[in-house]
Structure 1
Amino acid sequence: MERRRVLILIEGQTVNGLLYVRAAQRLGLHPITLSADPARYDYISAERLHAICVDTNNLDALIHECSRLGAIDGIAGITGALDSVYGIVSKLCRHFNLPGPNPVSIERCYDKFAQRELLARAGIPVPFFRMATSAAEVESSAAEIGLPVILKPFMGSGSSGVRLCRDVEELAEHTAYLLGGKHLWRSSPRILVEEFAQGPFYGAEMMGNEVIGIGAADFGPPPHFVFREWTLPAVLTDDEHERIADLSLSCLRALDLGWGPANIEFRWTKCGPVVIEVNPRLGGAPDPQLIRLAYGVDLITEHIKLVIGEKCDLRRKHSHTAAARMLVPDHDGILDWIGGVTRATAVPGIAEVKMYIKPETPIVRKGDDRDYIGHVIAASPNPGRTGEMLQRAVNVIEWSITPFPRSSSCG
C-alpha cells in the first residue's frame, strides 16, 4: 500500500481549523489532528476526520505519537493554528528536521515582557511598560506610568485577561481578578502593566518577510478589547502604509522571526505608529478569509506549502475591499434561537455568515474573543459598497437570549 503524505495538526481551531484541513486535502495531504480533546472541535466528527487523543502539552508524548505515525506514513509537515501550541509545534519541527519557525524565537515572542524589551532595545516604538508580580507592584507601576493603564497577563491570546483600568478602583479590581485565582495561568502569575496607547488600530499580516496586507479594526466598548469589525485594506496614505510596513519588518528582525506567518498589531498615536503586539503565527479568523477575498491570496494554503517545504505563491490576483463583523451578545443567559442567517447569506456581496454556537447554549461573556457567537463577511471592489452590504446582512440576523434566573434568598 502506498504511504500517505501526512500533515500533523497540533490541536484544531473553531473557525480556521477546518480551513487548514481542507487546504491540506487540496494539496494531496492526509491531515491528522493530535488533540488533548478532539471532541471540542465539532468539524472533526462532522467531517469524519482522522484525530488522535494525546496530551498536546507533553513534548515527549507528541514526539512518540509523531514517530509512530511516521513509521506508518510519511510526515510531510507539522503545524497548528492555536497560539497555545505554536511553541511546541516549532520544537516538533526542529526534532523531526522539518520546516518550521525557530523555537527560541517563538518562546521568547510569546513572553510579552521579553518581546517588549527586545522591541524597545531595537528602537521600535512600544507603549511604556512594567512587569508586576504583586498588587503592590501593579499599583506602583501604574502610578509611574499614569492612569489609564492596561493590565494583561504576560502570556496569552485573544485578549484573555486584558483590561483597561481607568481609575484606582478598576486597577484594584482587575489586579485581584488576575492574582486571586480566577484567571487560569500556565505558569507563575506575571502581569504586564502598560501605557494605554490611543489611536486607530491596524494589523499587518506577514508571510516570511513580506507584508501581505494591512487591515483596520474597531473594538467594542471598554474596558475590554473585543474586536467588533475588521476592514482590509485599511484606508491609509502611501506614507502611512510605508511606515507600518517598514516597522513590521523591523519587528521581525528584532525578534529573529521571518519564517512563515506573523501578525503585528499597531495603534496610530499622536506620535505615529506604536507596536502593541507581535504574534508569530497566522492571524485568527477572520484575517485569512479577508486576505483571500481582498487579494486572492490563500494564506492558510501558502502556510501549509511552507510547512511541507514547498515554495509559496503570494502574488495578488485582484484588489477588493473585504470586511467582517463579529457578532457579540450584549448580555449573559441561554441562547434560545438564532434567525435570519439564510436571509443574510443571500445578501449580494456576502461571502460568509457563520455561527459558532447553537441554540440552548449558555452565554457567559468573558470580555475576550470567547464572546463571539458568529461573524459576517462581505467583499466587493468598492469600499463603500462593501460596508453597506455588510450592514444590510448584519441587520437581518437576530437572536434571543434568556437571562439566567437571579438567585434569591428569603429572610
Structure 2
Amino acid sequence: MAPRIALLGGRPSVLKSAAKLGCEVVTLAKPGMYDPEAARRWCVEVVDVDLGDQQAVMAAGRALQARLPVARFFSPAELGLVAAARLNEEFALGGNSLRTVTLLKDKSAMRSHLAGIGLSPVRFRVVHGAGELAGFLTELGGPGIIKPLDFGGSADVHKVDGPDRAAEVWSRVEAAGRERMLAEEFLTGHEVSVEGFSADGAHTVVAVTDKLLGAGFVEAGHSVPARVAEHTREEIVELTARLLDAVGLVEGPSHTEIMITAEGLRIIESHNRAGGDNIPELVRLAYGVDLVRATVAVPLGLEPWKDEVPVPLGGAAIRFLAAEPGVVTAVDLPAEGLEGVTLGVTAKPGMVVPSVTWSADRVCGDVIAVGRDADEAVARAEAAAARVRIRTGPAPETAPRATAPVRTS
C-alpha cells in the first residue's frame, strides 16, 4: 500500500516527485500558492493554511492526522520545518528531533551551541536596539552584520560598518516590525553552500555550491561544482559532518552555508532542508543525484541511499534575471535556442518589479545552464541572461507590490 504523506509547502516539482514514488500526497500551503491544475494532478488533497502561522499549521496537521493519517510530515519549505518536526514527534512518526530542527532554525541558539563546543568560532550577540548594536560593534572594532533570528531568504540582512551607523540601520529593523536581531562579526572571503544528505546518522556531502551575491546579500546566482581547491573541499566536508553531528541531524537533506576566510572556514548557518534557488536542480544536472526524490524516498524506506560521494558529470549554473524596478513594458527574448540553456522567464508586461530586498523579490525568472564544467555553465548562463531584456517604466503609486508567480513547476 502506498504511504500517505503530508508536505508543508514546497515547489510543485516536490509534489510531483512524491506522487511519482507512489505516495498519496496531502499538501498544506498558503491559499493560491499552487496552480490549481498542478495541485489536483499530484495531490489527493490541498489544505489551505498560512505556514507562517504555527498555531494554525499545528491545528491543521492534527485535524489531518485524525481523519486521514499520514506516515510522515515533510517540509521542503523553511516556514514549515519546525511544525513538521513537532507533528512528527507528537504522533511518533520519526524523523529529525524537534530539538535538532529548532536548533537549526534559531540562528542564535545554533551560534551558542557551536560556541559551547568550540566549533567554527564567530563573535555574535542578540541585540534589542541601536544602543546594544552599537556596543557590540564597538567591541568588535570592525564591521558587523545583523539578521533575523529565524528567517531565511536573505530578508532584513544588513551590514553595519561601525557603531556610528547603528541607529540608521536599526531604523530599518524597526520599520520591518522586528524587535531583536542576531548581530555577528562580518565575515569576508569566498562563500559556498554545502548540499548534504543524511541517512541513519551518516552524512554525505553531495555537492559544494558557489554563490554569487547581489545587492543586499540576496543571491544573484549559483553554480556547481564550486571552484575551490581539493584540500579546501575536504575541509568543508569535514566541517559540515561535524556540524550535522553536533546538532543531531539523522536523516534527510541539509543546506549549510560556509565562508572560506583567511582565518579558516566559518559556518554561517545551516538548515534541515534542500537549498532553495533551484540548487537541487543544479545538483541533479551536475551530479545525477535527485535530492528532491531522496527527501521522501529514503526516510520512508522506499529507496536506499547510496552514501558514496558522487562524481560530477559536468557543471550547472543559475543566474536570476533582473530589471529596473517598475512596471514591465516589454520582454525581449533570444530569437534562437542557446546551447545548454533553459530559460525560465516569468516577467511579462504589466507585472510590477520591486526593488530586490530578499529572495522573493526576484520575480523576473532565471536562466539555468549546463556545461562541461562549472566555468562553461556559468559563461553560458551569464551570456543567456544578458540576451534577455526586460524593459520597465515607472510604476503608478497604486500598483500592487509584485509577488512570486503562482507555482506550476
Structure 1: runs of 5 or more not aligned: none
In structure 2, give the amino acid aligned to 1:61. A
Paired with 1:238 and 1:106, the residues of 2 have a C-alpha distance of 31
Q: How does 1:5-404 map to 2 (within 5 A)?
A: 5-12=3-10, 17-35=11-29, 37-41=30-34, 43-46=35-38, 48-49=40-41, 50-54=45-49, 56=51, 57-58=54-55, 59-70=58-69, 75-168=70-163, 170-178=165-173, 180=174, 182-185=175-178, 189-208=179-198, 209-221=203-215, 224-314=216-306, 316=310, 319-329=313-323, 331-340=324-333, 343=336, 346-350=337-341, 352-372=342-362, 373-404=364-395
Query: What letter matches 2:6 in structure 1?
Result: I
Contact 2:328–2:352 (Cα < 8 Å) also in 1: yes
TM (norm. structure 2) is 0.87
Quote the Cα distance in structure 2 between the aligned partners of 1:46 and 1:82. 18
Q: Which amino acid in structure 1 is aligned with residue 255 of structure 2?
A: N
**Contact conserved, 1:218 with 1:229, CA < 8 A, in 2?**
yes
Give the Å deviation of 1:262: 0.9
Question: Partners in 1 of 2:162 and 2:334 — Cα distance?
Answer: 41
Name the Cα RMSD after superposition.
2.2
Q: How many residues align?
A: 384
What is the percent sequence identity of the aligned residues?
26
Which ranges of structure 2 fall in alignment gaps of 5 or more residues? 399-409
Matches of 1:280 and 1:47 in 2, distance apart?
25
Distance 1:304 1:62 in 2: 18
Is contact 1:154–1:192 with CA below 8 Å preserved after alignment? yes
1:301 is paired with a residue whose SS is helix
CA contact (8 A) 1:153 1:192 kept: yes
What is the SS of the residue equivalent to 2:136?
helix
CA contact (8 A) 1:126 1:274 kept: yes
Q: Note the C-alpha offset of 1:341.
A: 6.5
Q: Distance in 1 between matches of 2:347 and 2:100?
A: 35
Distance 1:8-1:356 versus aligned 2 partners, 3 A rule? farther
Which stretch of the first structure deviates more once superposed, 228-237 or 241-250?
228-237
**Cα distance change on mapping 1:195 and 1:318 into 2, 3 Å:** closer
In structure 2, how many angstroms separate the alpha carbons of the residues matched to 1:342 and 1:279?
Answer: 40
Q: Distance in 2 between matches of 1:107 and 1:93?
A: 14
Please list the CA deviations of residues 37-71 of structure 1 after superposition, one character each: whole Å capped at 9, or x if unmatched.
33133x3445534412245422133211232122x
Q: Is the 8 A contact 1:324 1:377 kept in 2?
A: yes
Residue 398 of structure 1: CA displacement?
Answer: 1.2
- The 8 Å contact of residues 78 and 307 in structure 1, kept in 2 or not, is answered as no
Quick one: distance in 1 between partners of 2:379 and 2:147?
A: 35
Cα 1:119–1:33, aligned 2, differ >3 Å: closer, same or farther?
same
Provide closer, same or farther for how the CA distance between residues 356 and 173 of structure 1 changes in structure 2, counting only shifts above 3 A: farther
2:402 is matched with none
190-199 or 253-262, which deviates more: 253-262
Question: Under a length normalisation based on structure 1, what TM-score does the superposition of the two structures give?
Answer: 0.87
